[in-house]
């Protein structure tokens, strides 16, 4: 790709890049993480993380932060469906989007499909008003997203990888760093935590 140009971030680009990286990892001395970095750089991105973020930002619907449905019509069996079995449409509509349901006494239960529960929306708490429910949903979701996106150490086949686990059931985990040894992993985690 010409210097300074960048491939358009599409689902097709992402799928082809994953396939290319898998082939590279099998046919060269590169690890899978290194192969992902290389295909991202070849597509004009500074890292695999940047390419994933660009594709994610372009292809996912965005809801305004203050957009909280009250008493929405939910899909059938919404609270009895494993997250990994949900349709892309349901995930695009409801993932990380708090909503409120009115109780008999007029208060609002705030819930969100965020992966905190494996088969239903997570209960965030109750609020007296829609505004209080919206603020509760924003605060709880932000705290959960911070926890969910924290690096996780994954060890295997002689490697130590620092990964961000999938943020949605239909996403892949993201390799943030491949450490040389445990001390290197600890240094990276401390630097990441202090950043």
pLDDT at 13: 83
- Looking at residue 166, its pLDDT comes to 92
Which residues fall within 8 angstroms of residue 35, CB to CB, at 6 or more apart?
Answer: 20, 21, 22, 24, 25, 28
Single out the residue in 59, 93, 109 at which a domain terminates: 59
Question: Is there a single domain that holds both residue 185 and residue 170?
Answer: yes
Tell me the pLDDT tens digit for each residue of 67-125.
899 999 999 999 999 999 999 999 999 999 999 999 999 999 999 999 999 999 999 99
Q: In whole angstroms, what is the distance from residue 132 CA to residue 91 CA?
A: 25
Going through 22-151 in order, the beta strands assigned E by DSSP cover 99-102, 108-112, 122-127
Confidence category of residue 1, pLDDT binned at 50, 70, 90? low
- The residues, any chain, with a CB within 8 Å of residue 50's CB and separated by 6 or more, are 40
Residue 178 lies in a domain: yes
Would you say residue 104 lies in a domain?
Answer: yes
Cα 67 versus chain centre, distance: 20
Query: For 7-60, what is each residue's pLDDT tens digit?
Result: 887 777 887 888 898 898 889 998 888 888 898 899 999 888 788 777 765 555
């Amino acid at each position: 790709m010409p210097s300074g140009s960048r491939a358009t971030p599409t689902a097709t680009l992402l799928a082809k890049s994953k396939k290319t990286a898998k082939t590279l990892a099998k046919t060269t001395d590169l690890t899978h993480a290194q192969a992902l970095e290389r295909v991202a750089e070849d597509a004009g991105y500074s890292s695999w993380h940047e390419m994933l973020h660009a594709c994610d930002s372009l292809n996912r619907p965005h809801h305004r932060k203050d957009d909280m449905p009250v008493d929405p019509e939910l899909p059938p069996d919404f609270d009895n469906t494993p997250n990994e079995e949900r349709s892309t449409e349901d995930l695009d509509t409801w993932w990380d989007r708090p909503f409120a349901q009115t109780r008999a006494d007029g208060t609002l239960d705030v819930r969100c499909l965020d992966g905190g529960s494996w088969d239903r929306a997570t209960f965030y708490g109750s609020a007296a008003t829609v505004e209080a429910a919206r603020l509760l949903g924003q605060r709880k979701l932000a705290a959960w997203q911070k926890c969910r996106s924290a690096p996780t150490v994954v060890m295997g086949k002689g490697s130590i990888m620092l990964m961000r686990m999938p943020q949605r059931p239909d996403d892949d985990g993201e390799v943030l760093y491949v450490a040389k040894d445990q001390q290197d992993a600890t240094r990276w985690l401390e630097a990441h935590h202090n950043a």
